[in-house]
Amino acid sequence: MTVTLHDPLVNPEIVAAHGLTTDEYEQICALLGRDPNLTELGVFSLMWSEHCGYKHSRARLADLPSTGPQVVQGPGENAGAIDIGEGLAIVFKMESHNHPSAVEPYQGAATGVGGILRDVFTMGARPIALLNSLRFGELDDPHVRYLFRRVVAGIGDYGNCVGIPTVGGEVVFDDAYRGNPLVNAMCVGILAQNDLTRGVASGPGNAVYVLGASTGRDGIHGASLLASAELADDTAESRPTVQVGDPFSEKLLLEATLELIESGAAIGIQDMGAAGLTSSSSEMATRAGTGIEFDVSRVPRREPDMSPYEVLLSESQERMLVVADPHREPQLMTIADKWDLACTRIGSVTDDGIWRVFEDCEEVCAIPVEALTEAVPTYVREVEPPAYLASLHAWSPRPGWLDCVEPLAALATLISAPSLASKRWVFEQYDHHVRTATVIGPGADAAVLAIKGTQRGLALTIDGNGRYVYCDPYRGGALAVAEAARNLVAVGATPLAITDCLNFGNPEKDDIYYQFVEALRGIADACRALDTPVVSGNVSFYNQSSVGAVYPTPTIGMVGLIQDIEKRIYPGRAAVGDRLLLVGGDGAHLGASSFLKEVLGEVAGRPPTVDLKAERMNAEAILALNEAGLIGTCRDVGDGGLAVAAAELMFGLESGLGVELEIPGRAGPHALLFGEDGARYVVTVAEDDESRAAELLAELEVVTRACGRVTGDAAYHVVDVGSANRSVLQASSETSIPNAMRQTESNR
Amino acid sequence: MKARVEVHIQLKPGMLDPQGETLEHALTAIGYEGVRSMRVGKWITFEIEGDESDAVESQVEEMCDRLLANPIIERYEYHVMREES
Amino acid sequence: MKARVEVHIQLKPGMLDPQGETLEHALTAIGYEGVRSMRVGKWITFEIEGDESDAVESQVEEMCDRLLANPIIERYEYHVMREES
Amino acid sequence: MTQVPIGIVRFPGTNCDQDVFDAVAAVERACPVWLWHKETDLQGAKGVVLAGGFSYGDYLRAGAIARFSPIMEEVVRFAVDGGPVLGICNGFQILTEAGLLPGALMRNDRLTFVCRPQSLKVETADTLFTRQYERGQVISFPVAHAEGNFAADPAMIDRLEDECRVVFRYVDDRGGKGLDANPNGSINDIAGVINERGNVLGLMPHPDRAMDRMLGSADGRGIFQGLVEAAA
Ligand SMILES: Nc1ncnc2c1ncn2[C@@H]1O[C@H](COP(=O)(O)OP(=O)(O)O)[C@@H](O)[C@H]1O
Ligand SMILES: [Mg+2]
């Protein structure tokens, strides 16, 4: 075999500049049986980067549970899929665009949404919802305000234009994210199970096409390398690699792709994400166990004089790689024409297991497909718990430490802290109604979509608590899953499965690696206990900057099912005199809580213990109560504890109503009001139903306490503690972010 | 001292300009053939009043860098036209 | 015949330009006082190739009237720069 | 009973097409028909809806490019002949760009996209499209747009007001001119206007998203009923 070597010879400096170790380079030579040329080296450096190759995470991710009767497609494809009955499947995945968003927040966030949409429609599913999970530094920093505004605009403009409702998400502000914001986007799609299409290049002799946008020098050594190295202060250097999103083209690509899949003309299809043409072609061949060859000179370009290297590694957006029977080419072209998209045949599927690239018929790369995908080196190591954990855990409150904290003032502080305050400023910029299926939109514990043509409803949420994971990686990981499940249960849904986005610092550092491994263990345990397998996900390492690593922040996107949408639990369904029940009983755990952070400015202690058995039992109890028609409305107890949950429940009620809380007198009220112990919900039940509800809960052996009632005086009372005016509290929640965003911003 | 300022902003060369591309197609479709390399940028005009006339240029440049343009993806040009006063 | 064309579009005088206003306030807030009457418009550039050189101006004018600007709210100016060929 | 064919135009980028299709289909006797932008025939439609969304990505100006689509020549002819045409959101923007309705829709004064339930006052029940409502009635349709700020020269605004051609106005929940009642800065709180002849209505809010109590409001049904009756 001859490989054209018109590239300069590869030397050790070049190898190092490509982020490969000497060991890795030797492995490449062994796989090839010769030295790679420069183009091949570039290809390896991207495919073996952390972002594409999952070097540090792959072995650990294998421990996540990913099977179950509900799983139609587990990890490994462009997105996961689960069965929701009636022959339908839900396809979903989450992905990060942290570094691109740090460099250029608007385009970074927009192209993040674009990428996750393509991951879903490439499977043949029609996207029906978007969600996002965001982390920024504190809003008193003008650059943080700039990032926040532009990220939200980028997410909104892209999804709005394509016409997919953004129905939920979360935003947390903490100094830990100042140098490195997190932008995770999740997309959910639906299809008839029979239509599920995989990213396979099967059938030697079949043709390979590029569909969609032309290829420019976007993101060459962009996303993949950005995502595989820490953000240095001179991010200016990585600037030229920013990609511009084109949501209009995306919409055309979406419609054309679905039509193509429906027509049966496409055998396999995959979007070109990180490492563009290289990763999509090699992954499609790997899945099919075939080889693939194509000529880069046939790829439509946006710019003159692009080298094979640039074409192979370009991350231009809104492009798909399609494998089809060449006899059906006319059909393919008709569909592409209908949607005004370019579609160009660039090569074919082969049977020799080689990834072969030509330029004007001259061979420029010949690499065994599996060398690019399966042979990626993986690293596993055993590490000790970092020292910082011991000092955090040694925290214990001084006697009388809360004497000067007035509970209702603390509640007001919590409710208006940007992380807990109303996110209306954000979600009013997102179209959350388009497609006319949004039954519960942003602002509740979880979003609920009607599944048209059925009685069913789909519940969606995203959750994660980086501070918890920082303070105890195992518990934090497990609690993220538990909190997501509680969000779904609180709208009456049964949790089915998750996708995750694992945002961590540099995994080559021991303390970060420990956080990663332990958080993953927590996620895995919780997913097993709650029967919510992981069907897709994404790892984002190197989230650190000169101000240090971000909090380890796994975010969990969870999907649940409501059999009969009429039985959803919705905000605000309560009347004066209804009883408040605290299902799961009192808690008093303040370690690592929002109360400590927002009111006292401390990050210390450990997050609450994880009781997965109770999480499951109490969730089942809520669903049983609802099935029996006993619940008015419900809120899970999360950040800010009972006090905040009750306030949020109140904000959902008709204006004029209020709540009255009772807490047992024995301990100080702070812990009971603000403790964040898990597996808990506040529900309202009609006065007449109270005893039936109590009986049912007792039968299910769930600890429950009557904790107050709905009042008619538009006030928030805590018996023996004090009261606050509802509209004042609500206004402080609603105005917190808009007020902060009225201040000036800085793009640096 | 009073001056009229014009700032022109465009995506850097080589960056995809979806608006320009779409508009170029649309013009071709309605019969204006031969239109190429269309880019849609911004044109910002304003007046500025200040004491030291020398400082205006550097001030405008700073404004462009910090707020008017996004130097990461855009390039800009400005012209300052001093007015008699 | 080949020409480079620049089109400038702005909201008509008298029409409120909230984007210009917002930018003006933001500039003032970060210390650039004395900025007035800020307007944010569009700057469209392209190349055009055609046979009869006379027709270019009228073609560009037509493109502006029909598509590039909305005469109800916007005004425009254009410049055609012919290139040697 | 004879079916009433209602054409729903799909431009590249239109994304409320299916929502409008469902809304039309929910009206008795109505039969929604797709009209592709490249077609030059209304396929016998007796009424036409331009749906919301982002035709051509809203690049340059919302609605600016779509109005040159081949199908628009037919829509204009149909409208000039007196056929009922409804433009919702992006459809409204296209109708103004095409000159079937006066004025223009500028960028929202808040400079951001706005999506929320919106209270509207029905200013006249004396149109083909609003016979199902009462004058002064307060209804709720969601809004979702970035360029909904209606503008026209003062003489045109006076004329629209004098001729009772402002059909919907933004109001607060209680029907008043509340602080945040107007989502986009539109002059005189105008949310929707009708042409002189009374057969072309454009509005920014989405009646197609107000067809079911479960989604927050069913107030939009009346508009589609009116359209179908006018077309029958
Ligand atoms: N980035 C976002 N995008 C869309 N909706 C959001 C976003 N952030 C928060 N929301 C909405 O605001 C509500 C409150 O969020 P959060 O405080 O995280 O709720 P919870 O504590 O119940 O999980 C949620 O319903 C969520 O859907
Ligand atoms: Mg949350």
The mean-pLDDT minimum among A588-597, A658-667, D36-45 falls in A658-667
pLDDT at A7: 53
- Look at residue A230 in the predicted model and tell me its pLDDT: 57
CB contact under 8 A, B16 and A213: yes
CA A101 from centre of chain:
15
Nearest by CB to residue A244, choosing from B11, B22, B25, is: B11
Q: What is the CATH number of the domain that holds C31?
A: 3.30.1280.10
Q: Is A312's pLDDT higher than 90?
A: yes
Give the model's confidence band at A10: pLDDT under 50 very low, under 70 low, under 90 confident, else very high.
confident
Quickly list DSSP for A80-139. EEEEEETTEEEEEEEEE-HHHHHHSHHHHHHHHHHHHHHHHHTTTPEEEEEEEEEEES-T
Q: Whose CA is nearest to atom 9 of ligand 1?
A: A170
Domain count of the fold of chain B: 1
In the predicted structure, residue A224 carries a pLDDT above the cut 50: no
- Inform me whether the pLDDT recorded for C55 exceeds 80: yes
pLDDT exceeds 90 at position C85: no
Look at residue A235 in the predicted model and tell me its pLDDT. Answer: 43
Chain A residues with CB under 8 Å of B21 CB are: 246
CA atoms within 13 A on the CB side of A19: 20
Percent share of chain A, pLDDT over 70:
96
Banded model confidence at residue A400, pLDDT cuts 50, 70, 90: confident
pLDDT at A237 over 70: no
> Residue A223 pLDDT more than 60?
no
Please determine, for residue D182, whether its predicted confidence score (pLDDT) is greater than 60. yes
Task: Give the residue ranges of DSSP H helices in chain B.
Answer: 18-29, 55-63
Give the range of the structural domain holding residue C54, as residue numbers without chain letter. Answer: 2-83
Q: How far apart are CA A375 and CA A353, in angstroms?
A: 14
Mean pLDDT in residue range A301-314: 90
Confidence (pTM): 0.95
Rg of chain C, C-alpha, whole Å: 17
Residues across chain D: 232
Residue C72 near chain D (CB below 8 Å):
yes
Which residues of A are designated catalytic?
A: 51, 97
How many percent of chain A have pLDDT more than 90? Answer: 87
Kindly tell me if the per-residue pLDDT of A342 is higher than 70: yes
* Whether A612 contacts A478, CB under 8 Å: yes
A246-258 pLDDT, tens per residue?
Answer: 999 999 999 999 9
Residue A3, pLDDT > 50, answer no
Whose CA is closest to atom 14 on ligand 1?
A443
Mean pLDDT of A420-428: 98
- List C79's β-bridge partners, or say none: C6
Q: Which of A215-224, A343-352, B12-21, B76-85 has the highest mean pLDDT?
A: A343-352
CB-based contact A179:A231 (threshold 8 Å):
yes
pLDDT higher than 80, residue A260 = yes
Distance to chain B for A570, nearest Cα, Å: 41
**Which of these ranges, A493-507, B50-64, C21-35, D19-33, has the smallest mean pLDDT?**
B50-64
Nearest CA in chain C to D151: C73
D178 or A552, which is more confident? A552
Confidence of residue A5 (pLDDT cuts 50, 70, 90): very low
Q: Are strands A343-350 and A291-295 parallel, antiparallel or unpaired?
A: antiparallel
Out of 3.20.20.80, 3.40.50.880, 3.90.220.20, 2.60.120.620, select the CATH number for domain D4-231. 3.40.50.880
Confidence of residue A462 (pLDDT cuts 50, 70, 90): very high
How many CB atoms are located within 10 Å of the residue D37 CB?
A: 18
Better-scored residue on pLDDT, A396 or D69:
D69
Residue-level pLDDT at A221 = 61
pLDDT at A233: 46
Model confidence band, residue A239 (pLDDT cutoffs 50, 70, 90): very low
Instruction: Identify the band that residue B51 occupies on the pLDDT scale cut at 50, 70 and 90.
Output: confident
Query: Stretch D180-206: mean pLDDT, rounded?
Result: 98
Of the partner residues D57, D65, D68, the one whose CB lies closest to the CB of residue B18: D57
SS3 C36: strand
The pLDDT of D196-212, averaged and rounded, is 98
What pLDDT score was predicted for residue D218? 98
The C-alpha of C84 sits at a distance from chain D's nearest C-alpha, in angstroms, of 31
Q: Domains of chain D: which residue ranges?
A: 4-231
Question: What's the average model confidence in pLDDT over A384-397?
Answer: 94
| Averaged pLDDT for residues A621-628 | 98
Length of chain C as a residue count: 85
List pLDDT tens digits, range B15-42: 999 999 999 999 999 999 899 999 999 9
pLDDT digits (tens, 9 = 90+) for D99-118: 999 999 999 999 999 999 99
- CA–CA separation, C41 vs C76, rounded Å? 10
How many inter-chain contacts (B to C, CB under 8 Å) are there? Answer: 94
Of A118-132, A158-172, A658-672, A724-738, the poorest mean pLDDT is in A658-672
pLDDT at C54: 74
Q: What is the mean pLDDT of residues A546-553?
A: 94
Q: How confident is the model at residue A1 (pLDDT cuts 50, 70, 90)?
A: very low
| Average confidence (pLDDT) over A52-64 | 93
The pLDDT value given to residue A18: 85
Mean pLDDT value across chain B? 91
Computed over every residue of chain A, the mean pLDDT equals: 93
Q: Is the CB of A280 under 6 A from ligand 1?
A: no
Q: Does the ipTM exceed 0.85?
A: yes
Question: Would you call C18 an interface residue with chain D, using a CB distance cutoff of 8 Å?
Answer: yes
Q: Give pLDDT, residue A9.
A: 66
